[in-house]
Chain A
């Protein structure tokens, strides 16, 4: 145990130090707001860039040298807290660093001065800290703590501002999440009573022994069901998704983009981790339940989207249907399907965040998010139209964009185990997704602006420096989408390796135990 695991701790240290530095700026320059703002923006930009570099370095380390483990504070597992980065964690961290960076650039251009003065940037980094912590931890109770860090910072980010709709959205959000946390905590208590450990790898081993005892089956299933519900609320799966559209629609675009991209995916990450490592599917009733949940989540989400007319509401419902695909990959529980789910998450986070950023720009240019009140954006902002089209078509799964390969691997996985119904649902939902994206395109970009008929020709929106700052993160994310689509041959093998590590967790368990010796 001589390794300091510097790279492993960096995804946590960078955001917390950035947040502290930002808070210092806020506290010291309390009376000089313009100077405080400039300092905040500088600190946050440096922090976001360093974080991106740090997660990429960690990813390379994991890719080259295998699973990385560190025992924080040198307390050996299962007593101390273990941080583990397998390939799946590392991929999730990369996506979190990437989104953290892109959305930060967008926030620089779009977040208003009041929010900056209250401490938007430090809070944003506390949120990233919570997300990264959840991806890194190898300890169940620690996962709960990171969830709380995330919940608190996201609640404040959401509630800052006095909009009525925003308050309603945030109250729903925080109430549901508190219920989820309570269930999570009770499940942890039961679990600890059953096997006496909170370390995930240790749990996996001890569970293997307990599972042989037929009397414990009921309790094990109850605990697994509680985890399913707790993480299901966070991930917004059927029938626990109803909080999501209201909450994600309300806050400013930069905030809702990072929520849409990252937060629900932490729930999905936790589901995948728990149901591969601790309660491997394949025995017990949970595989069937998850298959149903996956299908129904896809279907309800996409049908909900059809009924909406506001851009970000449509996109919020699509988050739900896309979560269904990721759960489908988990529920099929074959190496190909799980790899597909990993690839899907990466693709989805990039694409969905980008769509929310585009939606924010549409709302700003058209002064409304209602598709019937805006129009002719194609004429006015052709670049924005292209930037919408790339993620939108990728979301619907058109080749050769990233969504196509993600869906293809899931469908193949489904065919391989004869889940024809689910494959059918997935294809149907894809089709409806395309329909929704076409709707946004037709009404938002092509249809003449309703205001035009009253006021005559609107002026094209000029691309000044301010707009360039809006476009930059969208272009970045669109390039990533194109890269993983055209370069699927290079990127998919990484997802396959990650899927292998997930479906056969012995490598993970061994790495954790070895590091404690």
Chain B
């Protein structure tokens, strides 16, 4: 697609969409959102980019190969389960800890966050693989 409006708009939309996807990822803990939705929004940013330019250009901007995203997503998700196992609990048991950040307060961090990040990367990677393949096949 060769549209100057889309090309101009995407430059402003990309950072917003990626920020929004991270927001969704973090928010997903206690409210609606999460890794899956976040990953889809992040993929949407790159899908838009590849629509307004082309898949090769989008790959160049992404810098990491989608395959690496997929596998690291899987690895992060599995390791969130492994942490519970190493702590002597059943696989995937959620473990939580508090990190105090000066000037911010206590932050609750746990293995489910890691799992969500894994899902985020996996969904992101798979969706853009699909979009890129469709673009290149056309």
A: residues with CB less than 8 A from B are 1-6, 9, 13, 16-17, 19-20, 23-24, 26-28, 30, 70-74
Contacts and interface: CB of A to CB of B under 8 A. Distances in A.
B67 A23 contact: yes
A27 B71 contact: yes
8 contacts: A4-B89, A6-B85, A13-B78, A13-B91, A20-B71, A27-B65, A72-B91, A74-B89
A20 B75 contact: yes
Contacts of A74: 84, 89-90, 93-94
B74 A23 contact: yes
Nearest to B86: A4
Nearest to B91: A9
A146 to B, nearest CB: 15
Interface string B86-129: 00111111100000000000000000000000000000000000
B65 to A, nearest CB: 6
A73 B112 CA distance: 10
B105 to A, nearest CB: 28
A72 B84 CA distance: 10
A4 B88 contact: yes
Contacts of A13: 78, 82, 91
The 9 closest A-B pairs by CB, nearest first: A27-B67, A73-B92, A74-B93, A23-B71, A9-B91, A27-B68, A24-B71, A20-B74, A70-B90
B72 to A, nearest CB: 8
Given A4-B85, A9-B85, A20-B78, A73 B91 contact: yes
Name B's interface SS. Answer: helix
Given A20-B75, A20-B78, A5 B90 contact: yes
Nearest to B94: A73
B71 to A, nearest CB: 4
A27 B75 CA distance: 13
A19 B74 CA distance: 10
Contacts of B90: 1, 3-5, 9, 70-74
Interface of B: 65, 67-68, 70-71, 74-75, 78, 81-82, 84-85, 88-94
A55 to B, nearest CB: 16
Contacts of B75: 20, 24
Contacts, number: 59
A23 B69 CA distance: 11
Contacts of A28: 68
A70 B71 contact: no
A20 B71 CA distance: 6
A202 B93 CA distance: 22
A30 B65 CA distance: 10
A20 B125 CA distance: 14
B88 A72 contact: no
B89 to A, nearest CB: 6
A50 to B, nearest CB: 15
Most chain A CB atoms below 10 A, which of B70, B71, B91: B91
A264 to B, nearest CB: 28
Nearest to B68: A27
B71 A5 contact: no
Given A6-B85, A30-B65, A73 B93 contact: yes
A1 B89 CA distance: 8
A410 B67 CA distance: 50
A74 B90 CA distance: 6
Contacts of A70: 90-91
A76 to B, nearest CB: 11
A72 B71 CA distance: 23
A9 B85 CA distance: 9
A30 B67 contact: yes
Contacts of B91: 4-5, 9, 13, 70, 72-73
Contacts of A23: 67, 70-71, 74
B125 to A, nearest CB: 10
Contacts of A6: 85
B10 to A, nearest CB: 27
A4 B92 CA distance: 10
B138 to A, nearest CB: 21
Contacts of B85: 4, 6, 9
A19 B94 CA distance: 24
Most chain A CB atoms below 10 A, which of B70, B71, B84, B94: B71
A110 B45 CA distance: 43
Contacts of B74: 16, 19-20, 23
Nearest to B66: A27
